[in-house]
Amino acid sequence: MKHFLGAAFIATLPTLSIAEVKVSAPWARATIIAGRPGAGYLSLTSETGDRLLSVSSPVAGEVMLHAVESGENGVSRMVHLDALDLPEGETVTLAPGDMHLMLMQLTQKLEEGTNFPLTLTFETAGEITVEVPVLGIAATGPEGTE
């Protein structure tokens, strides 16, 4: 028995769209030893809005999202975030001295000139894996994004 979906029926189906997240300018600073946490940075843009739920990498036992808050007497402190909202059409940038990724329990030191994979899991867009270049210990960002 053949099944036929008429054009009128197909026309009434809702349009399905998956939110896309653009990940740009990922980078990390080199570390001196594997025993110390590393730091990673990038920019995220979602045309429809989304939420970053988790981040992982084979070079770290855990990747945490941290924000920086000013406390009493002007002393800043890191605060762990469970998730990161990406407002529709806005770019959220993780940068030194501000929101960033902490690469905890490194399996190896991050050496300048190498790359490592980083997988970001979003509520709507799902998983996106990017290659993260490792820059120098004192780097402030990749060329053209500073």
Per residue in 14-40, pLDDT (tens digit) is 433 455 899 999 999 999 988 899 999
Residue 8 in domain: no
Higher pLDDT, 40 or 74: 40
With 0.85 as the threshold, say if the pTM is over it. Answer: no
Domain count of the fold of the chain:
1
Number of residues that this document lists for the chain: 146
Residue 2 in domain: no
The pair of structure tokens assigned to 80 is 């762990």
Report pLDDT for 98.
Answer: 93
Which CA distances in Å does 13 have to 6, 16, 96, 103, 118?
Answer: 12, 9, 46, 44, 36
The pair of structure tokens assigned to 31 is 């570390």
The domain that holds 79 is classified in CATH as: 2.60.40.1890
Residue 126 in domain: yes
Phi-psi region of 139 (alpha: psi -120 to 50; beta: other; left: phi over 0): beta
Q: How confident is the model over 75-125, as pLDDT tens digits?
A: 888 899 999 999 999 999 999 999 999 999 999 999 999 999 999 999 999
Q: How far apart are alpha carbons 138 and 14 in whole angstroms?
A: 50
Residue 87 in domain: yes
Residue 104 in domain: yes
Q: Is the predicted pLDDT of residue 5 greater than 80, yes or no?
A: no
Residue 22 in domain: yes
Residue 144 in domain: no
Residue 95 in domain: yes
- Domain housing 55: 17-135
